[in-house]
Amino acid sequence: MPDKDGKRMAAQVKFSDLQLTTISGQLGLNLVSFDGEPFAAGMPASADNGDDFGEDDDLVVAKTIEPAVVREMKVVHKGRVLVAKRSDEEQEE
């Protein structure tokens, strides 16, 4: 992609993100991402690749595909994430 098109696209994404934040805030909605957080049962998100791991694996959210939508501390829409095994270095911290 040419540099000019890349800058234009980045500006459009930034504007769209600002619009989404503004409109969702006006509606009392919060969009919650989970990147880097430990994945656990009860999290308001489902793991699209959860079947790739065992029940006892220590998992962390590698990427939020869809954020959870929350209003007044209630989940309106569950998020979708991709998970990965927590690296040994992270477990030692």
Domain that holds residue 47: 3-92
Q: What is the pLDDT along the chain (93 residues), one digit of tens a residue?
A: 678 888 999 999 999 999 998 999 999 999 999 999 999 989 999 999 999 998 889 999 999 999 999 999 999 999 999 999 987 435 545
Please give the single-letter amino acid code of residue 74: K
Q: How many domains does the chain have?
A: 1
Read off the pTM: 0.76
Sequence-distant (6+) residues with CB within 8 A of 89 are none
